[in-house]
């Protein structure tokens, strides 16, 4: 950062690294407002209202999505975004525009938006007149005295009992009310529950009041701030330190609908390779080759399931990206091939820093192709990370992203199955990140690092994903990223960074993953057991039990803080950990089906209770309970020595996974939590598909798939999705099968029906149907008009029957 004079230092505050960062905004600076209406015009499905000092554009994206842009002095920026999915297009929408005496009104089939003629302030209401979002001061701005440009601000009325959620992987309480948060991706080693900012930059939040939910996505990559009633209890505000004030209003009315619509706007993920949903083992670092091979042998000999082994920075030659240390790994291709034969995939880390070394081919190519970031006066940026002094690619430049993608040829040829991007906030040793005067191309919209910082990591991950896809032929890429901007879900999974081995961090990880899922990023997880420090056996076990239900499931650790392989703990913990990892693999058909539904609809894989409860006030502040898909509710144990805990069940009825006890929802209950159990509940009427336990995904073909069927009280739908688990054949009907299972009560009969779409042929031929919720042996069971009662086994309280996988209807007569 430039030297600061004593005069302008008073407008800055020191951060943890000793740098100076901008304050939220200068309360003493003059504020400017749009002023009264001068003129207006219609441009397609957009209306532009010109005020005395600024203009407002409102574009109708859909009946429930409006896009707002504010142009100071009447000028709008180029409408460019890294977040919006390139395939997204506005819907054909019926709307009316009215020119009233004091305001204009835009009315769709869902909402009304008023625009004041005297101030250009806006107000959004439901059709029945409920005010959902209304300006307090509304849009205004200040001159940025230090950097030029403007600080653009929006202030809204904070309604009574309003709740706020989202903003990605923020720590702290799940409900954001009463907090102020910052988006400026930061390498925050050992962060705590009050740390802010952290790694990711997702300028999307949801609000809810008056039984109506909505979302605001402020698509701006500059350092940004969100205040949810901390400074002024009746005001919610958000602002950025540069760029245009551009945001989308997304109407619910349910919050889960808001998340789904946001995901469609910013992009839904493609299906990952199924193995990526298995268990991952990582450490900083596994080396040399003999250690990696021994690790694989230990998993297989101990029969603890694992799909993926990660290699951290020590596999490289002097930390040079895209190289191997030929002393530690003399034949990586053979090693990776041998690991594959044992059922392991290999993921390697790649950081953005390219070592300054004239004999290093990647450095040579970067120089020759003009791919590295430059300082304001034209010199190449130099900063230190693991290799020493490095240059850094400008991922905001298209040609650089394309060049970066070509670099993965060698790793893919060696057999590497996935890539893990780290240090991409971007992080450096000297100042924490790049100086603000670093220049970025921004795809033809050049600017400083103030503009490029928050999106840098996402663009690196996008390039990494593209490189894998380019060379992997008909295989699905797998990319992990530590830093992210809105839309990252199109290209990468994420993890929550350098956490700590503590009970507090187990709870933080739970909340972060829920918040990420509510921000469009379901494929997320934490470093199980904590990256920093050494958990005891109980903490590690409880963390595994929670992470089984997180989409990205990886143990990772800093080796100098002790090893965290599952067998490093006492045998009683090893046995429980093994059993829960086995459960992950047994539930793989359910988890994979949930991911497919997420990729198709944008509905989050894991969901906080408020996403399901909607208007149930008991869910507004609940933090630990969460859903995986429609039918499983989980509540981790986040304190030591707990043999029971309280939790809240949402409305309906729920079966205790362990005991089959049917319990009424809408109540707080006390649940037993011996060390080998955490609270898991199954929705009444659910059908949960389970496969045999395996040591890795698709280890073997099996003859029978189990359907755990829970007796319903009302029609309940479940889905089983299947494809080959890799490749892109699933994009045609020949490459997938989706089985729609419905469970219902018809008089005294319990009926289960199956309808299928797609032509993919499952390897198994038989379902093992397990009927939960019956007090005695059924009087009769008829499958597709054939009486199979004599074949039913009654085991405890569960009836078991084998049926053909292509059955149409099962009738259970009680």
- ∠ Cα 725 730 734 (to 5°): 120
- What tokens does 534 get? 């050494």
Tell me the three state secondary structure of residue 296.
helix
Distances from the Cα of 705 to the Cα of 188, 408, 722, 782, angstroms: 44, 38, 12, 20
Cβ burial of 129 (10 Å; 0-12, 13-18, 19+) is exposed
DSSP designation for 52: S
Q: Is 671 helix (H, G, I), strand (E, B) or coil?
A: strand
* Tokens of residue 35, six digits: 């002023």
Which residue among the candidates 219, 425, 527, 612 is catalytic per the annotation?
425
The phi and psi torsions of 340 (rounded to 5 degrees) equal -60, -40
Beta-ladder partners of 656: 681
Instruction: Give the HSE-up count for residue 656: Cα atoms under 13 Å, Cβ half-sphere.
Output: 17
How buried is residue 579: exposed, middle or buried, by Cβ count under 10 Å (0-12/13-18/19+)?
Answer: middle
Pick the catalytic residue from 498, 586, 624, 698.
498
- CA pair distance 257, 389, nearest whole angstrom: 47
Would you call 498 a catalytic residue per the annotation? Answer: yes
Closest CA to 812 of 744, 717, 739: 744
> Is 425 known to be catalytic?
yes
Beta strand 680-683 pairing with 653-656? antiparallel
Cα separation, 455 vs 41, whole angstroms: 33
The rounded distance, in Å, linking the Cα atoms of 670 and 42 is 59
Runs of H (alpha helix) within 355-448:
361-368, 398-406, 409-414
Write the DSSP assignment of 90-109 as a string of letters: PPP--EEEEE-SSEEEEEES
Using DSSP's 3-state secondary structure scheme, residue 548 falls into coil
Q: How many CA atoms lie within 13 A of 747 on its CB side?
A: 4
Confirm whether 15 is a catalytic residue.
no
> Which of 57, 289, 422, 722 is the catalytic position?
422
DSSP one-letter string for 113-161: EEEETTT--EEEEETT--EEEEEEEEEEEEE-TTTSSEEEEEEEE--TT
- Residues in CB range of 124: below 8 A, 6 or more apart: 66, 111, 112, 113, 114, 131, 132, 133, 134, 214, 249, 251
Q: Which residues contact residue 226 at a Cβ distance below 8 angstroms, ignoring those fewer than 6 apart?
A: 167, 176, 180, 181, 182, 183, 203, 205, 236, 237, 238
DSSP state for residue 272 in the 8-state scheme: P
Nearest in space to 548 (alpha carbons), one of 583, 510, 593: 583
Are residues 348 and 420 in contact, defined by beta-carbon separation less than 8 angstroms?
Answer: yes
Active site residues: 422, 425, 498
């Amino acid at each position: 950062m430039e030297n600061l004079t004593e005069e302008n230092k008073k407008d800055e505050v020191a951060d943890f690294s000793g740098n100076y960062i901008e304050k939220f905004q200068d309360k003493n600076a003059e504020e400017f407002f749009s002023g009264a209406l001068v003129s207006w015009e219609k441009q397609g499905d957009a209306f532009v209202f010109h005020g005395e000092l600024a203009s407002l554009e409102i574009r109708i994206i859909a009946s429930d999505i409006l896009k707002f842009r504010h142009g100071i002095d009447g000028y709008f920026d180029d409408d460019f975004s890294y977040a919006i999915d390139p395939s997204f297009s506005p819907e054909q929408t019926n709307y009316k525009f009215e020119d009233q005496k004091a305001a204009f009104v835009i009315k769709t089939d869902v909402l009304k938006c008023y625009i004041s003629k005297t101030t250009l302030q806006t107000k959004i209401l439901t059709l029945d007149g409920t005010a959902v979002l209304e300006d307090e001061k509304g849009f205004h701005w200040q001159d940025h005295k230090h950097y030029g440009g403007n600080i653009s601000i929006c202030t809204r009325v904070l309604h009574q009992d309003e709740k706020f959620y989202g903003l990605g992987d923020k720590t702290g309480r799940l409900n954001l009310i009463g907090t102020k948060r910052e988006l400026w991706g930061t390498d925050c080693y050992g962060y705590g529950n009050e740390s802010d900012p952290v790694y990711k930059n997702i300028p999307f939040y949801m609000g809810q009041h008056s039984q109506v939910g909505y979302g605001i996505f402020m698509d701006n990559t500059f350092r940004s701030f969100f205040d949810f009633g901390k400074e002024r209890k009746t005001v919610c505000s958000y602002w950025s330190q540069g760029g245009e004030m551009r945001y989308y209003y997304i109407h619910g009315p349910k919050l889960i609908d808001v998340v789904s619509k946001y995901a469609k706007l910013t992009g839904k993920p493609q299906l990952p390779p199924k193995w990526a949903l298995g268990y991952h083992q990582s450490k900083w670092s596994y080396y040399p080759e003999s250690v990696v091979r021994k690790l694989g042998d230990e998993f297989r000999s101990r029969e603890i399931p694992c799909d993926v082994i990660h290699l951290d920075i020590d596999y490289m030659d002097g930390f040079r990206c895209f190289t191997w240390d030929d002393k530690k790994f003399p034949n990586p291709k053979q090693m990776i091939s041998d690991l594959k034969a044992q059922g392991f995939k290999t993921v390697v880390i790649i950081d953005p820093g390219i070592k300054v070394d004239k004999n290093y081919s990647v450095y040579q190519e970067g120089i020759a192709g003009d791919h590295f970031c430059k300082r304001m006066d034209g010199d190449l940026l130099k900063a230190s990370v693991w290799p020493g002094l490095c240059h850094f690619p400008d991922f905001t430049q298209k040609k650089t992203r394309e060049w970066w993608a070509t670099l993965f040829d060698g790793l893919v040829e060696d057999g590497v199955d996935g890539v893990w991007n780290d240090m991409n906030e971007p992080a450096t040793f000297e100042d924490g990140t790049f100086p603000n005067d670093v220049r970025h191309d921004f795809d033809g919209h050049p600017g400083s690092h103030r503009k490029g910082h928050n999106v840098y990591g996402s663009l690196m991950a996008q390039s990494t994903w593209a490189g894998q896809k380019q060379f992997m032929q008909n295989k699905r890429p797998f990319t992990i990223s530590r830093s992210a901007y809105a839309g990252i879900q199109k290209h990468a999974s994420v993890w929550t960074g350098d956490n700590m081995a503590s009970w507090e961090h187990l709870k933080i990880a739970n909340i972060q993953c829920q918040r990420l899922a509510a921000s469009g990023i379901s494929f997320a997880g934490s470093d199980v057991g904590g990256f920093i420090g050494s958990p005891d056996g109980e903490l590690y076990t409880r963390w595994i039990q929670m992470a089984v239900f997180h989409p990205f499931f990886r143990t990772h650790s800093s080796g100098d803080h002790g090893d965290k392989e599952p067998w490093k703990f006492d045998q009683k913990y090893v046995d429980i950990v093994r059993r829960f990892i086995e459960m992950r693999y047994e539930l793989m058909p359910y988890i994979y089906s949930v991911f497919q539904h997420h990729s198709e609809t944008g509905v989050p894989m894991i969901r906080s209770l408020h996403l399901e409860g909607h208007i149930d006030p008991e869910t507004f502040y609940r933090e630990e309970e969460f859903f995986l898909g429609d039918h499983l509710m989980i509540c981790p144990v986040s304190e030591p020595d707990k043999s029971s805990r309280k939790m809240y069940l949402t409305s309906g009825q729920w079966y205790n996974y362990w005991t089959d006890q049917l319990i009424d929802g809408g109540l707080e209950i006390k649940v037993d939590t011996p060390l080998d159990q955490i609270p898991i509940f199954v929705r009444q009427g659910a059908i949960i598909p389970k496969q045999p336990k395996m040591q890795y995904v698709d280890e073997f073909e099996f003859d029978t798939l189990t359907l755990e069927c829970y007796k319903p009280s009302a029609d309940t739908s479940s889905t089983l999705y299947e494809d080959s688990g890799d490749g892109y054949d699933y994009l045609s009907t020949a490459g997938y099968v989706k089985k729609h299972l419905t469970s219902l009560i018809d008089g005294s009969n319990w009926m289960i029906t199956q309808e299928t779409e797609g032509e993919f042929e499952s390897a198994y031929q038989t379902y093992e149907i397990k009927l939960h919720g019956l007090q005695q042996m059924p009087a009769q069971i008829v499958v597709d008009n054939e009486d199979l009662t004599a074949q039913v086994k009654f085991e405890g309280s569960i009836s078991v029957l084998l049926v053909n996988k292509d059955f149409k209807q099962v009738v259970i007569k009680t």
